[in-house]
Structure 1
Amino acid sequence: MTYIEIDQPGGPVRLYAQDVGAGPPVVLLAGFGMDHRVWDRQVRILSKGHRVICVDQRGHGRSEAPLTGYDVDRLAQDLLAVLDDLVVGECTLVGWSFGGQVAFRAAASDPDRIAKLILVGSNAVRASRSDEFPFGRLPEQLEPALVAAEHANRMAARRQTITSGLHRDIGADVVDWLLRASLQMPSWAAVACYHSMLTTDLIADIPRITMPVLQIIGAADPVHSAKGARWLTERLATAELLEIADCGHYPMLEAPDDFDAALTSFVEAN
């Protein structure tokens, strides 16, 4: 367990990384409002033969939450700087949801470091509709409503964000746990990340993603659609797609056995 200080304009930011196990490194990045704790089961499994590093993005979990720096480029630079500090060379990078967008940008920025890329519940290149990416809703339809809800009743808004992504019942206690994790993220970070998530376009990065890619997505994911995942798979150099039936945006919680089997198989494949 360690903190890494990231130099940036306006002053340094301390980011938290959970670093356990030994062997080929696997790096996990959680989604909007979530942190290293969501990967607890996967860390337990993977750390039997790998060094497993979970990075809390700025504004998330135990990392600091400055007022600025939540664009996807900056978040990807944060991640790569943490890996530099931890002396991580070639690794497998796993990004879930908004973390998938950040992971995709980091992989495009430093493809020699990222040996394999796993996208979980993420269309990676976009989280909203555009002329080129015809999936999801338009950002101008989504962002104002999300921001208004965050400002009106932060707790209710976060709970709605979590439950609206679920397809299977994971239990009220797990939802409450996810809500507590989400509320670690202050409102200014949430609003900034909503904007980044909904307005970032990484389609131009697709040709730079030449490493093997696995996409794991719930067939009923209402946040990042399976259709968008198929669209991306067709355009990547080396990619495979697993759609988990009757599963929403949280495959590691809704379908943990299927998820872990796919994750470990891809990580351990030569």
Structure 2
Amino acid sequence: MTISERPMPHLEGATHRQVRVRGVRLHLAEFGSGDPVVLLHGFPQHWYAWRHVVPLLADGHRLICVDLRGFGWSEQSRTGYDTESLAADVLALLDELGLEQAVIVAHSWGAGVGFRVCERAPERVRAFLALNMTHPWTRHRDVLANLWRMWFTAFVEYPVVGRLVLRHWPAFTRHLLRRGVGGPAPWSEAELTEFAEATRVSAHAGQSLFWQYVVRDIPAGFRGTHRRTRLTVPTRVLGGELDPVIPPALLRGEPYADDLTVRIVPGAGHHLPEERPERVADELRSLVSGTRRPPGGAEGTTPDAPPRP
């Protein structure tokens, strides 16, 4: 399937290119130089979701903003939108770029992919910063109590219907972006238009992403599949106090992890890269700095983490 021919949003310092990975061409927007950091966007967005974070980190880091398969200016395919396949795309991309190891920063759906990368190939990830996404060990009773927050997925996940909604109802995408924030909307009209149009073009990928989550990830979660693998990558989960989709309650639970810290940002919602870019940048610097400590250090704790059971 073809790559979008829409005009590319401008961001100072960006270098754009296509890299062929597992049968599709992925679009990358790269900035700066230094230690490699791979940034994975959420839904309904693409690489431009990092526009406020990039200027804060480009000095001293090589930022690789990836359009996931089928989104933004990456090539669409008929299949390959399940979390396992998207994680395989990221690992293959590291191979193509000649990177033995990288830091991963990921938002929302992209963070779900990031967790899977860390589980599959922990030696490839120096550190992982997950934004506005549950870790894989959330308690089932917390998930069930918050299922109502996922009402919007009923419009997206079903084949045919979901594609029609995403392709022909841009007001739906705009609504998701507006309702996701915890305070004054950070979106300009041009940004809302950009992401709504991008979602229209990538309707097949968007619908497939949600449907694969329903048929694969949800059953795996209730089977406890992730409890068979312990997370060894130094990881920080950053959530928004007012996130209407992933509230702090969904970040509880005892993780099967050596070094995972949860922190909650007061007054913020579901779009931390836009709402609190400075906090995201600070957390990344702190996390990466912490990975330089001698092996065997104690797991970090923080006073604003949600209580564990």
Same fold per superposition (TM over 0.5): yes
**1:233-260 Cα shifts (integer Å, max 9, x gaps):** x443211122011110011222233332
Q: Which residue of 1 aligns with 2:269?
A: 248
* 3-state SS of paired residue (1:215): strand
- Whether the 8 Å contact between 1:150 and 1:157 is mirrored in structure 2 is no
Distance 2:151 2:32 in 1: 44
- Whether the 8 Å contact between 1:111 and 1:208 is mirrored in structure 2 is no
Give the counterpart of 1:257 among 278, 281, 297: 278
Distance 2:19 2:51 in 1: 21
Specify every segment of 5 or more residues in structure 2 that has no aligned partner in the other structure, as ranges: 1-15, 293-309
Q: Which residue of 1 aligns with 2:40?
A: 29
Q: Which residue of 1 aligns with 2:154?
A: 144
- What is the TM-score when the length of structure 2 is the normalising length? 0.76
Q: Alignment RMSD, CA only?
A: 2.6
- Whether the 8 Å contact between 2:137 and 2:226 is mirrored in structure 1 is no
**Equivalent runs, 1:210-225 vs 2, <5 Å:** 210-225=232-247
Q: Which residue of 2 aligns with 1:13?
A: 24
**1:161: Cα distance to partner?**
1.7
One-letter amino acid of the structure 2 residue matched with residue 259 of structure 1 = V
**1:164: Cα distance to partner?**
2.1
One-letter amino acid of the structure 1 residue matched with residue 282 of structure 2 = A
**Equivalent runs, 1:218-233 vs 2, <5 Å:** 218-231=240-253
1:177 matches 2:191: yes
Do the aligned partners of residues 158 and 178 (structure 1) sit closer, same or farther apart at CA in structure 2, a change above 3 Å counting?
A: same
- Whether the 8 Å contact between 2:108 and 2:131 is mirrored in structure 1 is yes
* 3-state SS of paired residue (1:260): helix
Do the aligned partners of residues 87 and 247 (structure 1) sit closer, same or farther apart at CA in structure 2, a change above 3 Å counting?
A: same
Distance 1:73 1:108 in 2: 10
Do the aligned partners of residues 19 and 124 (structure 1) sit closer, same or farther apart at CA in structure 2, a change above 3 Å counting?
A: same
Q: Which residue of 1 aligns with 2:62?
A: 51
* 3-state SS of paired residue (1:184): helix
Distance 1:263 1:245 in 2: 18
Q: Which has the larger radius of gyration?
A: 2
**1:18-47 Cα shifts (integer Å, max 9, x gaps):** 233222211110001311111123222222
Do the aligned partners of residues 222 and 84 (structure 1) sit closer, same or farther apart at CA in structure 2, a change above 3 Å counting?
A: same
- What is the TM-score when the length of structure 1 is the normalising length? 0.86
Distance 2:172 2:225 in 1: 33
- Whether the 8 Å contact between 2:230 and 2:258 is mirrored in structure 1 is no
- Give percent identity, aligned residues only: 26
* 3-state SS of paired residue (1:92): strand
* 3-state SS of paired residue (1:24): strand
**Equivalent runs, 1:75-114 vs 2, <5 Å:** 75-114=86-125
**Equivalent runs, 1:121-140 vs 2, <5 Å:** 121-125=132-136, 130=140, 133-134=143-144, 136-137=146-147
1:156 matches 2:171: yes
Give the counterpart of 2:260 among 230, 236, 239: 239
**1:150: Cα distance to partner?**
5.6
